[in-house]
Chains A and B, each alone.
Chain A
Amino acid sequence: MASNRVKAQSAEPRVSIVGRPLGQSPVARRTFGREVPALDLGGISLLVINDNEFVRTYMERLFSIMRVGRVVTCANPRSARAEIATVQPDIVVIDLDLTGMDGLELLQDIRRGGAGIPHDIAILVASAYVDRDYVGKARDAGANWILVKPLTFRRLYEGLVRVIMDDRAFVEGDVYVGPDRRILVGMSGYDGVERRKDSRS
Chain B
Amino acid sequence: MSRDLRSKVRIMPQERLRCMEAVASIAMLELSTSFRRHVNRTLRDMFVLMSTPRHHDEAWRGQLHDLARDLQSVGGSFDYGLLTTIGEAMCRTIRDEALPSESGLQRKLAAYAAALDAIIRIDLKGDGGDDGRELLSVLRIAPAA
* Chain A residue with Cβ nearest B24: A153
* Chain A residue with Cβ nearest B76: A128
Complex contact B8–A43 (CB within 8 A): yes
Complex contact B73–A129 (CB within 8 A): no
Number of A-B contacts (CB under 8 A): 133
Complex contact A38–B144 (CB within 8 A): no
Name the distance in Å between B83's Cβ and chain A's nearest Cβ: 10
Q: Known: A17-B11, A40-B12, A129-B144. Contact between A52 and B5, CB under 8 A?
A: no
Q: In the complex, which residues of chain B have a beta carbon less than 8 angstroms from the beta carbon of A91?
A: 5
Q: In the complex, which residues of chain A have a beta carbon less than 8 angstroms from the beta carbon of B23?
A: 65
Q: How many chain B residues touch the partner (CB < 8 A)? A: 40
Complex contact B77–A55 (CB within 8 A): yes
> When chains A and B are docked, how far (Å) is the Cα of A66 from the Cα of B70?
26
CB of A115 closer than 8 Å to a CB of B: no
Complex contact B77–A149 (CB within 8 A): yes
CB of A167 closer than 8 Å to a CB of B: yes
CB of B98 closer than 8 Å to a CB of A: no
Of A95, A128, A163, A164, most B-chain CB atoms within 10 Å = A128
User: Which B residues are closer than 8 A to A by beta carbons?
Assistant: 1-3, 5-14, 16-17, 20-21, 23-25, 27-28, 31, 34-35, 38, 69-70, 72-79, 81, 84, 144-145
